[in-house]
Structure 1
Amino acid sequence: MEFGWEQILGLVAGICTTIAVIPQIHRSYKTKKVNDVSPGMFSILLLGVLLWVVYGFTQNDLPIIATNGISLGLNSFMLYLMLKYGKN
C-alpha cells in the first residue's frame, strides 16, 4: 500500500482524534473519579468508532481502520473506568 498525502492527512487527523481521550483516561485513572463523565456519550462514541472500523474495512482504508481501532480500545478502557469508579 502506497501512502500519499491523503493517507497521511487521514492518519494525522485520526491520531489527533484518537489521542484526545488520553488526558481524560489518565485523570480518571489517577483520581478514581468519573462522576462528571457521561457514560452515554462514551457509549455512542464507541458505537461510532466501531462503525468507522467496519467502514474502514469495507474501503480497505488502513488509516481509518488503525486510528479508529485504537480509539475503540482507548474509549472502551475509559468506559470500563467509568463503570469501575462510577460507584465511588
Structure 2
Amino acid sequence: MFELIGNIAAVLTTAAFFPQVIRTWKTKSTDDMSWSWLLMLTIGVFLWLIYGISNSLLPVTAANGVTFLCLSVLVYIKTSNFLARR
C-alpha cells in the first residue's frame, strides 16, 4: 500500500512540472522564475536522482530523472534569455 502511495506521489509531483515547461517553452518567458529557486531545485532533484540510482529505487530514480530533464529545459531557456539580453 505504501509503495502505491509513493508511486502515485512520484507521478503527480513529476507531472506537475509539465505545464510549466510547456508554458515556458511556448512563451520563452522565464522572468518570474528566480535563479536561486531554479538552481537549488535542479541541484536537489539531481541529488535525489543520484540517491535513487545508488539505492536501486526505481520510483525515486524515474521521477527525479524526468523532473531533472524538465528542470534542465527550464535552465536552458532561462540561460538563453539571460544571454540574449546581454
Same fold flag (TM > 0.5)? yes
CA-to-partner distance for each residue in 1:11-41, whole Å, 9 max, x for gaps? 2111111121211111111112111111221
> Paired residue for 2:28, among 28, 32, 38?
32
Show the counterpart of 1:6. Answer: 2
Identity of aligned residues (%): 32
Deviation at 1:85, TM superposition (A): 2.6
Paired AA for residue 38 in structure 2: F
Note the 1:1-88 alignment, pairs <5 A. 5-86=1-82, 87=84
Ranges of 4+ aligned residues in structure 1 off by more than 6 Å:
none
TM-score between both structures, scaled by the size of structure 2: 0.84
Gaps spanning 5+ residues in structure 1: where? none
Q: CA RMSD in A?
A: 1.5
Distance 2:25 2:50 in 1: 29
Q: Which runs of 5+ in 2 are unaligned?
A: none
